[in-house]
Every structure is written in structure tokens, then in C-alpha cells.
């Protein structure tokens, strides 16, 4: 599918980029280390945080992947939950800073495949056993596709919470992708288009001040539903005293790398992934807010309708921030973990 940006509109963009001396990404800054980390085989480190029952006593072990411009601390599935639920489910959750975020070392060669193997190595270093559950939110939800493709044999089940969609996946009908793309705010059409067509300009685009940038980074309320806005200002949402740590290494290998990987050309298409649980030994769930303005619901519905092994759940009236509701998080966990009792 060709979602091409108007060539004439690219002239000032490219001209500005060439005139801007910092087109090249600034090198990542060394992070301040405060948390536990594991060392990967290539020498990089991943910082992690644990929730729930001790893993030695856990019946269910979960690896959680955070979203865009977030960190291991942003684990609503464990933090925003009725007291006692994790203990009742015998659940252990480990959340980690994806490469370049927080206290995890960057990976300039990051791909969906490399991140899947990072997760596998994290699980092995923490001795989670032969199988574990994977849950991801937003950009972290998108990363779950890589696990389903490359390490399905390690998964007991998987949950994708409003996973970011790539408009250039070949499994989407061209007309549908174009429609979904056009419904995004113009500034996000530009940000996504640059990441896909001109990835070498992504750092410049995400950090320049001449044009409106990413809605998420600029905190544009236009991408939030009414429910999202009410949830964000709810007293039940925990504060984020760690916010300054999220991008402490800079933007180049965190949010910019997310854009390049998330909207770049993948070496597989989720529609082509074989059923990871052909004998019904596990399940894959996808949860989406009906009124999500950030991740197009029409694309998620198409995924739910055309990948037969996906169990699709659409939340009426919800937007992108539904993990800020404790009752939804409990439902997501129970749906994934209690299927064994059926």
C-alpha cells in the first residue's frame, strides 16, 4: 500500500531538515541506574520491575511491555487493580524498560524480532520457566506480534491492549488503511509518514519546533476521548514521579526508534502468522476501545475479523486509556489466566 505524502509539501520539510544542523540524532545519554537490570548476551542491559506474588510461588508468570514514551513503572495492569487480585490469580508480573527507555540500554538495530529475543532472554535470566504470558499496551502491544511470530513456543498466552497498528501491513486493504490514516490528526499523519518514508529524518521531525509534532509528545487533547480525559484527571490514577527518567537517555533511541520500528517495513505481516496455539493450549486476546482516537478501531476490527485465532474484545465508550480502569484490568487478566478452568 502506498500512503504517499504530497511531494510539494515535502519540499519545505526536506529543506528545513537540510538547513537544520542536528539532522543526525544526538547520541543517547548514559542512564542513571536505580533498578535491577539483567545483562543480555550482546552486553546490553534491561531494567525491570516486579509485581504480584514472588515468581517462585506464582502459578502464572507475565511479561509486560509498556507503551510509547513510557517505562517499566507504567504497568497499569498491575498498579491499577483491586487489592488482592494478583494474589488470587497467583500472578507474577515483570515489566521492563524497552530498549532506549528509562534505564535499559538502547538498541540502534532494534526490530520486532530482536525485541522478541530480548524478552525471551529476560524470561530466561529471571528463570520464569519454559512458558510465560505476554501482555503489551499500545506500542508495547504492537511488540507482542513479534513474540507471536518468533517465540510462540515460549508463550502460554498473549494479550494485546490497543496495540499500535502499522498502516503499511500488507494484510490491510489499501482503501481501509488510507481511510484510517486520513482520520488521524494531520500532525500525526506527518509524523508517521516521515517515520515510514524518511526514517533518517525521524529524529529531526520529532524534536523540531517548526511544525506541529507528534500528538502524544505534544500532549494534544485531540487524540483523547471524553473517557480518556476523565480518566487522566481521576484521583485514582497514581502520580508519575519517575516521569523525568522515561526519556533520560534522549529521544533518538526511545520514541524515535519506536516510530521507525513501529511504522517501518516489517519482515513479516501479522496476518501471515500461523496460529501459535493450534491445539487450543493458549489464547491470544486483543482489547480495543470503541472510541480510541489514537489507534484506529476500524483496523483493529479488521484484525479481529480476519485473524481467526484472535479473540477480539471491543470496549464500548472507551478510548485509548482504558487500562486506567481497575475493573477493565481485572477483566483482562481473568480472561487471559482463567481460561484454563473452562
Given a contact cutoff of 8 angstroms between Cβ atoms, the answer to whether 283 and 312 are in contact is no
Q: Which DSSP string corresponds to 282-296?
A: S-EEEEEETT-TTTT
Q: In the prediction, which pLDDT does 73 show?
A: 96
Answer for the pair 35, 47: CB distance below 8 angstroms, yes or no: yes
- List pLDDT tens digits, range 81-137: 999 999 999 999 999 999 999 999 999 999 999 999 999 999 999 999 999 999 999
Helix and strand counts by DSSP (H, E) for the chain: 13, 8
- pTM assigned to the model: 0.92
Q: Report pLDDT for 4.
A: 53
With a CB cutoff of 8 Å and minimum separation 6, the contacts of 237 are: 80, 231, 324
Q: Are 158 and 132 in contact (CB under 8 A)?
A: no
The residue among 155, 87, 170 whose CA lies nearest residue 119 is 155
The predicted structure's pLDDT at residue 9: 54
Alpha carbon distance 20, 27 (integer Å): 17
In tens digits, what is the pLDDT along the chain, a chain of 342 residues? 555 545 445 555 555 555 544 457 778 899 999 999 999 999 999 999 999 999 999 999 999 999 999 999 999 999 999 999 999 999 999 999 999 999 999 999 999 999 999 999 999 999 999 999 999 999 999 999 999 999 999 999 999 999 999 999 999 999 999 999 999 999 999 999 999 999 999 999 999 888 888 888 888 888 999 999 999 888 878 788 888 999 999 999 999 999 999 999 999 999 999 999 999 999 999 999 999 999 999 999 999 999 999 999 999 999 999 999 999 999 999 999 986 554
Amino acid at each position: 500500500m502506498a500512503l504517499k505524502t504530497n511531494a510539494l509539501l515535502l519540499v519545505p520539510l526536506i529543506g528545513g531538515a537540510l538547513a537544520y544542523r542536528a539532522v543526525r540524532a544526538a547520541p543517547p545519554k548514559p542512564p542513571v541506574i536505580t533498578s535491577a537490570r539483567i545483562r543480555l548476551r550482546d552486553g546490553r542491559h534491561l531494567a525491570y520491575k516486579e509485581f504480584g506474588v514472588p515468581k517462585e510461588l506464582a502459578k502464572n508468570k507475565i511479561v509486560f511491555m509498556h507503551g510509547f514514551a513510557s517505562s517499566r513503572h507504567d504497568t497499569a495492569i498491575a498498579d491499577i487493580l483491586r487489592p488482592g487480585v494478583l494474589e488470587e490469580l497467583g500472578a507474577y508480573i515483570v515489566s521492563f524498560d524497552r530498549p532506549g527507555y528509562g534505564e535499559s540500554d538502547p538498541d540502534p538495530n532494534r526490530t520486532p524480532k530482536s525485541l522478541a529475543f530480548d524478552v525471551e532472554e529476560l524470561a530466561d535470566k529471571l528463570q520464569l520457566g519454559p512458558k510465560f504470558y505476554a501482555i503489551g499496551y499500545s506500542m508495547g502491544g504492537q511488540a507482542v506480534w513479534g513474540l507471536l511470530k518468533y517465540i510462540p513456543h515460549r508463550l502460554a498466552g498473549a494479550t494485546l491492549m490497543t496495540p499500535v497498528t502499522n498502516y503499511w501491513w500488507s494484510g490491510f486493504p489499501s482503501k481501509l488503511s488510507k481511510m484510517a490514516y486520513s482520520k488521524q490528526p494531520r500532525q500525526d499523519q506527518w509524523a508517521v509518514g516521515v517515520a515510514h518514508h524518511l526514517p533518517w529524518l525521524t529524529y529531526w521531525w520529532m524534536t523540531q519546533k517548526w511544525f506541529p509534532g507528534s500528538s502524544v509528545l505534544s500532549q494534544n487533547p485531540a487524540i483523547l476521548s471524553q473517557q480518556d480525559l476523565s480518566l487522566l484527571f481521576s484521583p485514582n490514577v497514581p502520580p508519575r514521579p519517575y516521569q523525568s527518567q522515561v526519556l533520560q537517555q534522549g529521544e533518538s533511541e526511545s520514541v524515535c526508534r519506536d516510530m521507525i520500528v513501529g511504522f517501518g517495513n516489517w519482515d513479516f505481516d501479522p496476518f501471515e502468522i500461523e496460529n501459535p496455539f493450534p491445539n487450543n493450549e493458549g489464547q491470544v486476546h486483543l482489547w480495543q476501545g470503541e472510541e480510541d482516537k489514537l489507534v484506529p478501531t476500524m483496523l483493529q476490527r479488521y484484525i479481529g475479523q480476519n485473524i481467526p485465532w484472535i479473540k477480539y474484545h471491543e470496549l464500548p465508550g472507551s478510548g485509548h486509556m482504558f487500562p486506567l480502569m481497575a475493573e477493565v484490568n481485572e477483566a483482562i487478566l481473568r480472561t487471559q489466566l482463567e481460561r484454563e478452568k473452562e
